[in-house]
Chains A and B, each alone.
Chain A
Amino acid sequence: MISPLKRSLPMLVMGACTLYFLVPIWWLLVAASKSRSQFSNTDPLWFADFSLFDNLNELFSYRDGVFLRWMLNSVVYTGGAALLGTVLAAMCGYALAKYRFPGREAIFNVVLSGVLVPATALALPLFLIFSQFNATNTFWSVFLPSLVNPFGVYLARIYATASVPDELLEAARLDGSGEVRTFFTVSTKLMFPALVTIFLFHFVAVWNNFLLPLIMLGNERLFPVTLGLYSWNTQVNQIPELRMLVLTGALVSIIPLVIAFLLLQRFWRNGLGSGAIK
């Protein structure tokens, strides 16, 4: 039996940390629900008149609904890049795990050293390369570089080694299944929890990527939501009414990821660190 006294200190620490992590989000929720005048003269941590829907209305209609456009951009950049990027990383990592061929270790080491190269160091040279093709300030200039996820290849290789038995592949071959078909019908099923983890990592990385769109994009209609909110926030001192839009927008911008986290809980809850143990 564990005495209540022994329990109370850990619970106290956990409680204090919960406050630290959740109060800012609570504050954001409360702030986004207030009118401009009440924002500065009512209790910051409790609701006043509930004007969240007015704020949302204003947010979505401001300048022809540019915010909604940013949200959609973010979903397409991030969702598309993470989905496609996970498939590509999985195929490459799987091949590196399950086949022996000359140059295998060399390829793996090059990809692995890519993990240590910070993505932001690539943003400027990518801009210079894309400008050679007059392709900066386009959707593709942000989307294509976001597809590449070397850490995903590293994780996929580890997971494929651990979860796809050679005997199974051999059996599939005897049944006459081609290598590619085996991958998509058998191996991906075994690797599925791992693939969700790779997808989540990739999703968050692209969602957070700030320097690449900042350098690459000039056209506001192409901005992801982070860059859009950033550009509004830099104008807050000149245009004070943007402040409520920034706050409401900040709240809206985190909702998709929070929902994704909740839905995919059973995958990240225990699986997130599996790559680190090996």
Chain B
Amino acid sequence: MTRKRPVGALLFFILPFGLLFAAFYLAPIAYAIKQSLYKVERTGTFGPAREVFGGLAQYERVFADGPFWESIGRVLLFGVVQVPVMLGLALVLALLLDSGLVKGRRFFRLAFFVPYAVPGVVAAIMWGFLYSPNLSPFSSVTSAVDLLSADLVLWAMANVVTWVYVGYNMLIIYSSLLAIPQEVYEAAKIDGAGAIRTAWSIKIPLVMPAIVLTTVFSIIGTLQLLAEPAVFRTFSSAVTSAYTPNLTVYSTSSIPNFNLAAAFSVVLALATCVLSFAFLKVTQRGGDK
């Protein structure tokens, strides 16, 4: 290329985002790692506190922290059940919308998408009332089965998350269904494939990238579960201050023990990245065959 590179314009385009990204994304990550390597030391019981380098002392505490790993196990269990149910439902609804068997598509699309407009905190408050034994419109169910008991409250939360996000995921899958060229279906029709066969062998493989994307976002979201358990603490004593990893981060930082909370944050962020990255790798390898 002979044209001079427009350096000024490039800086104008990239710098504003770049600086903010550096200040509010990269710097916090670096700072969290640094903080997690320090510990607070006191001289005597009532002496002034000062921060000294502690090596991996905080990480030793993280790895020895039983409730934290229990909470990781809990969100993993949550994710293993809730993510497939939610995305399965989203996929079925998207396929039905796309199948031509359904009238009133615009209405359904909107109706399913509306819960996405409800913030997590508000959705949790609302469902908290719907689950309560005496205030619920379904009190015949909720007074017989305590949905807020220790055994069931995790699945009660899973329902809240599912309720909010099915429509959003459905829409992502549905828009990639719309992008499939009609000619692809002609061949299937000539071969005499029915609606279900077409969905299974043509549509689902073609929208796989959208399903992978929604799965990654769902994995990230699950590990970050916070608003729902925070709200449900008011409704159910079964939800402790270490119920999910992010609640642990929050309650540790309000003790306050910032160094330990930073170490929790780092471990959680790493776990999230590793898990979503691993999922991407596995699905990509599957796609190469």
Q: State the A residues within 8 Å of B (CB).
A: 2, 6-7, 10-11, 13-14, 17-18, 20-25, 27-28, 31, 39-40, 43-45, 88-89, 91-92, 94-96, 99-101, 107, 110-111, 113-114, 116-122, 124-129, 144-145, 147-148, 150, 153, 178-180, 183, 204, 207-208, 210-211, 214-215, 226-227, 229-230, 233-234, 236-237, 246-247, 250, 253-254, 257-258, 260-262, 265, 268-274, 276-277
Contacts of A91 in B (CB 8 A): 12-14, 16-17
Interface status of B32 (Cβ within 8 A of chain A) = yes
B102 part of interface (Cβ distance < 8 Å): yes
In whole angstroms, how far apart are the Cα atoms of A22 and B108 in the complex? 11
Q: How far is the CB of A205 from chain B (nearest CB, A)?
A: 11
B269 touches A261 (CB 8 A): no
Cβ–Cβ < 8 Å partners of B190 in chain A: none
Task: Establish whether residues B220 and A253, one from each chain, have CB atoms under 8 Å apart when the complex forms.
Answer: no
Name 21 A/B residue pairs within 8 A (Cβ), A-sorted.
A10-B99, A13-B93, A17-B89, A20-B163, A21-B166, A27-B137, A44-B135, A91-B17, A117-B272, A127-B253, A144-B23, A144-B24, A148-B17, A148-B24, A180-B12, A211-B226, A230-B125, A250-B122, A250-B126, A262-B110, A272-B171
A194 to chain B, nearest CB (A): 13
B270 to chain A, nearest CB (A): 9
Contact assessment for B96 and A204 in the assembled complex, using a CB-CB cutoff below 8 Å: no
Report the minimum CB–CB distance from B148 to chain A (whole Å): 14
Q: Any chain A CB within 8 A of the CB of B231?
A: yes
Residues of A within 8 A of B130 (CB): 24, 27
Residues of B within 8 A of A (CB): 1, 5-6, 9-10, 12-14, 16-18, 20-21, 23-29, 31-32, 35, 89, 92-93, 96, 99-104, 106, 108-122, 125-130, 134-137, 163, 166-167, 171-176, 178-179, 209-210, 213-214, 216, 220, 223-224, 226-227, 230-231, 233-234, 246, 249-250, 253, 258, 261-262, 265-266, 268-269, 272-273, 276-277
Most buried by B among A111, A122, A215, A236: A122
**B13–A118 touching, CB < 8 Å:** no
Evaluate contact between A145 and B125: CB separation under 8 angstroms. Answer: no
Beta-carbon contact of B24 and A118 below 8 Å:
no
The answer on a CB contact under 8 Å between B114 and A261 is: yes
Chain B proximity of A158: nearest CB distance (Å) = 12
Contact of B234 among A43, A117, A236 (CB under 8 A): A236
CA distance A229 to B10 in the complex (A): 43
Contact B108 A122 (CB under 8 A): no
Please, which residue of chain B has its CB at the minimum distance from the CB of A178?
B9
Taking a contact as CB atoms closer than 8 A, the residue among B10, B167, B220, B234 that contacts A99 in the complex is B10
Q: What residues of B have a CB within 8 angstroms of the CB of A129 in the complex? A: 27-28, 31
With A127-B253, A148-B20, A208-B119 known as contacts, the answer to whether A270 contacts B137 (CB < 8 A) is: no
When distances are taken between beta carbons in the complex, the residues of chain B under 8 Å from A27 are 126, 130, 137
Question: Lowest 7 A-B CB distances belong to which pairs?
Answer: A273-B175, A179-B9, A44-B137, A95-B13, A125-B28, A121-B269, A257-B117
Set of chain A residues within 8 Å of B9, measured between Cβ atoms: 95, 178-180, 183
What CA separation (Å) do A99 and B1 show in the bound complex?
12
B280 to chain A, nearest CB (A): 9
Closest CB of chain B to A253's CB: distance in Å? 6
Distance A237 CA – B234 CA, assembled complex (angstroms) = 8
Q: How far is the CA of A17 from the CA of B102 in the complex (A)?
A: 13
CB distance from B272 to the nearest CB of A (A): 5
In the complex, chain A residues whose CB is within 8 Å of the CB of B174: 273
Which residue from chain A places its CB closest to the CB of B247 in the assembled complex? Answer: A211
A254–B119 contact, CB under 8 A? yes
Contact in complex: A25, B173 (CB < 8 Å): no
Given A14-B96, A129-B31, are A24 and B125 also a contact pair (CB < 8 Å)?
no
Known: A11-B101, A276-B176. 4 other contacts (CB 8 A): A44-B136, A125-B262, A262-B110, A277-B210
